[in-house]
Structure formats: C-alpha cells, structure tokens
Amino acid sequence: MLSNLTAQPQDKILALMAAYRADPRETKIDLGVGVYKDATGATPVMRAIKSAEELLWKTQETKAYVGLAGDPAFSAAMIDLVLGGTVDADRLSAVATPGGTGAVRQALELVKIAAPRATVWLSNPTWPNHPSIVKYLGMPLAEYRYFDSQTGDVDFDAMLADIKAIPAGDIVLLHGCCHNPTGANLSAEQEDQIIAALAANGAIPFVDIAYQGFGDGLEDDARFTRKIASQLPECLIAASCSKNFGIYRERTGILMAISPSASLQAVTQGNMAFLNRQNFSFPPDHGARLVTMILGDTGLRSTWSSELEDTRLSMLNLRQQLADELRQRTNSDRFDFIAKHRGMFSRLGVSPEVVETIRADNGVYMVVDSRINIAGLNAHTVPILAQALATALK
Ligand code: LMR
C-alpha cells in the first residue's frame, strides 16, 4: 500500500527553513518562516507565559480531558480579545483548535458540510497553506486580486471589483490584519467598502487573524474582524495565539462562527464539536490554558500586552530603518512601502532571480516570492540586506 505513495509538493516556507539550517555560513540571515526574533536572534518565551506556566505547574491537579470544544473560559477570553463584545453571545459558537491552522482547517470542513459546492475565494497572493488545504479538501477554489507589486500597496480597485462579482453563498477568506505574505493592508474606509460589497452580494466572510497585536496594536488590528462580525449576518473567524503569545509549538487557536440567528447557534456549535471529535477529538489544552490565565489576570495581562507592544514597536522600527537604508542605497523611493506595511512580513516585489542572488551571495534567506520576515532583522543586519538588495538590483 505504501508503495503507492508519491512525493508531496514541498511547502515553500518549510523548505526554506531546512535550506537555512543546512547553510554553514555564520553570517547567514533568516528572513523566512514567521517566527518573532529579538535583536539577538532568539525567540524567547514571553514573560507572562513563563509566569503562567509556573503558576499552572503549582496549581494544576489533573490532566484529564476537558471537552470537545476546549475550555469555555478559553473561548470566552478569546472572543473578548478578538471581538471585544461586538457580537451577541447567543449567535456565537467557538471551539479550541490545534493552532490557527487547525482553525482554518476546521472552518473549511464546516463549509464542506454546510455548503459543499461553495467556492472558497482567496487573496492573490495569500499564505501558501490556504490554497494547499482548500485543494487537499477538494473544494472549489478561486482568487481575488489583492496586491500591486509595482507600488507595494493593495490593488484596491481590482480587489473591490473581484469581491463585488463573487456569487452569494461563496466563501471569501480575508486576512484580519497584517496580510501574509504582502504586509499591505486595507485602510478603514477600504474595509467598509469591502463589507458593503459582501453585504450586497451575500458572499460569506471567513477571517483568518493570526497576527493581532503585531500591526497597529491589539484593538486596531481587530477592527476589520469586529466590523465584519457585527455588520454582516454570518461569518467564520480563525484566530491564532501562536505569534501574539509566542506559543508556536503549543498549537493554540480558536474557530469562531457567528450565526445569522440565535436559533442556529446550538447546531453550529454541535457541528464544530463534532468536527473536532472526528479530526483529533479533544483540542490541546496547555497553550489555551496559559492564554486563559493571562487574559483573566490583570497583572499577567499587562505584562503580556506590554511585551507584545515592545515586539510590535521593534518591528516598526526595523521597517523604518530598512526603508531609510534602501532609499539611500538605491537612491529611490521604490521601497518606501516597507515602512507603511504592517505585521511581520513585507513582500519586496523583486524577482526570484534577485531572491536567489541574495541567498547565494549574502546568505540572506527570504521566501521565493520575496516575502521577508521583518523580525528576522536587527540593527546590524538591516544595512546588510539593504546593500545586498541594492547590489543585486543594479
Ligand atoms: C508563516 O507564514 O511563515 C507562518 O505562518 C508559519 C507557517 O506555518 O507557515
């Protein structure tokens, strides 16, 4: 049986991680996978997480199963963090999932049950695992235009035109904030126009929010998601705690569904719990419990949010430095958009050949579409990248 298997296509991001590890050069720079790094290149466990873990170790008396949806206290804390009280609880269903990816997968499976013929619309470009999962599930897939690689900005007219043409009942996957891979995001007014288009055509939004707190702050980053959730009759939301709590390997995420009416809540919740049971039974608890403890304790919450804010500001600083260095070294404003982008990533808009030259000559690793992880830089490596780019573009 196993002899029937053929190799799966490589995941671009994970292949890059492996290539970076295999490179013996001490000066190599990793701008690949989306993991936050401090100025020393470390990905430390956040202080609030350490404190919560210590407290948990002292007080937890059982590791017995919790429930198929996870701990209701985790759902309540995350609903508050993401939605901030904008939606009535009686229309909200939620299940804990193994990371944000688990939430994306469960959301798509829910769509498969509820609307098997619905097409899933993804931004072009999007996180490569989005189309990969949609295709794996055998669901119809289509793309809406999103990015203008000439300006480094959202190609808003094209995006709006494509969204307006999506048929009622199809699913539109939107990034809640900090678009991955481009770093280009909608303005508040543009968000309103997208929401109006969805209200008019009856397509159903599915928000993936994996970087809340990495862009303009915890509240601002939730703005688009909250408007969608409160203004449209139904939506799905996949949220990740991997990045903003720095608990990547704990696999902590949540799927929320907002039903058009309270009478549909119980059956929606039941279907989501059923899907958890089919795919992995009980969701992981450790990371979810830490998140619940932090969000529910004033002291831990303020330690966490101030560390997250430091993280955000350090990335903004690096963005500005890189934009300034590139302006100087390329003698142009071509890369000014880097300072305007938000979140962990920016797509530089250079060719795969330039990406490869920089890797070969300078040991700088970025995704082949020229996505860089801003947090992979520091004050010392920003000028190295800027010079490498300027040289390769000559
Ligand atoms: C990324 O885009 O680099 C992250 O979301 C990590 C991943 O799983 O790909």
Residue 220 covered by a domain:
yes
pLDDT at residue 106, rounded to an integer: 98
Could you tell me the distance, in angstroms and rounded to a whole number, from the CA of residue 381 to the centre of ligand 1?
22
**Of 279, 296, 313, which closes a domain?**
296
For 3, residues 6+ apart whose C-beta sits below 8 A from its C-beta are: none
Would you say residue 135 lies in a domain? Answer: yes
Q: Tell me how far the alpha carbon of residue 7 lies from the centroid of ligand 1, in angstroms.
A: 21
CA atoms in the 13 A half-sphere facing the CB of 239: 28
pLDDT tens, per residue, the chain with 394 residues: 999 999 998 888 889 999 999 999 999 999 999 999 998 889 999 999 999 999 999 999 999 999 999 999 999 999 999 999 999 999 999 999 999 999 999 999 999 999 999 999 999 999 999 999 999 999 999 999 999 999 999 999 999 999 999 999 999 999 999 999 999 999 999 999 999 999 999 999 999 999 999 999 999 999 999 999 999 999 999 999 999 999 999 999 999 999 999 999 999 999 999 999 999 999 999 999 999 999 999 999 999 999 999 999 999 999 999 999 999 999 999 999 999 999 999 999 999 999 999 999 999 999 999 999 999 999 999 999 999 999 999 8
First to last CA, the chain: 53
| Within a domain: 4 | no
Give the CATH number for residue 131.
Answer: 3.40.640.10
Indicate which residue's Cα is closest to atom 5 of ligand 1. 34
CA of 127 to the centre of ligand 1 (A): 7
Q: Within a domain: residue 137? A: yes
Q: What is the three-class DSSP state of 95?
A: strand
Clarify whether residues 341 and 386 are in a common domain. yes
Domain of residue 29, residue span: 11-44+305-393
Q: Which residues are catalytic?
A: 127, 208, 210, 243
Q: State residue 51's pLDDT score.
A: 98
Q: Which of 265, 296, 327 is the last residue of a domain?
A: 296
Whether 360 and 286 map to the same domain: the answer is no
Which residues neighbour 306 within 8 Å (Cβ) at sequence distance 6 or greater?
none
**Are 136 and 253 contained in the same domain?**
yes
Residues 291 and 309 in one domain: no
Which of 296, 324, 340 is the last residue before a domain boundary?
296
What SS3 class is residue 380?
coil
Q: What is the pLDDT of residue 10?
A: 87
124 Cβ partners below 8 Å, 6+ apart?
A: 143, 144, 145, 146, 147
Which protein residue's CA is at the shortest distance from atom 1 of ligand 1? 34
Q: What is the token pair recorded at 31?
A: 């701008």
Residue 265, domain member (yes or no): yes
Please check whether residues 188 and 246 belong to one and the same domain.
yes
User: Has residue 369 been placed in a domain?
Assistant: yes
pLDDT of residue 248: 97
Q: pLDDT value at position 225? A: 98
Identify the burial level of 30 via C-beta atoms within 10 angstroms of its C-beta, where 0-12 means exposed, 13-18 middle and 19 or more buried.
Answer: buried
Q: Which of 16, 127, 249 to mutate to test the pocket of ligand 1 (most atoms within 8 A of CB)?
A: 127
Residue 2 in any domain: the answer is no
How many structural domains does the chain have? 2
Q: Are residues 363 and 259 part of one domain?
A: no
Centre of ligand 1 from the C-alpha of residue 211, in Å: 11
Pocket test for ligand 1, best of 11, 13, 182, 252 (most atoms within 8 A of CB): 13
Q: How far is the CA of 74 from the centre of ligand 1 (A)?
A: 23
Q: Same domain for 287 and 139? A: yes
* Complex-level ipTM: 0.93
- Helical H runs in the chain? 12-22, 47-59, 72-83, 99-114, 129-136, 156-164, 188-201, 218-221, 223-231, 265-279, 286-295, 298-330, 337-340, 352-362, 381-393
Does a structural domain hold residue 6? no
Task: Answer yes or no: do 232 and 338 share one domain.
Answer: no
261 and 353, same domain (yes or no): no
* Integer Cα distance of 191 and 175 in angstroms: 11
Report which ligand 1 atom has the smallest distance to the Cα of 210.
Answer: 5
- Contact in structure between 26 and 363 (CB atoms under 8 Å): no
Pick the residue whose CA is nearest to atom 6 on ligand 1: 34
CB under 6 Å to ligand 1: residues?
Answer: 13, 33-34, 127, 129, 180
At residue 37, the pLDDT reads: 92
> What's the 298 CA to ligand 1 centre distance in angstroms?
30
- Write the CATH number for 354: 3.90.1150.10
Q: What pLDDT sits at residue 39?
A: 87
252 with 124, same domain: the answer is: yes
Same domain, 111 and 228: yes
Instruction: Record the pTM.
Output: 0.97
CA of 180 to the centre of ligand 1 (A): 9
Q: Are residues 76 and 197 in the same domain?
A: yes
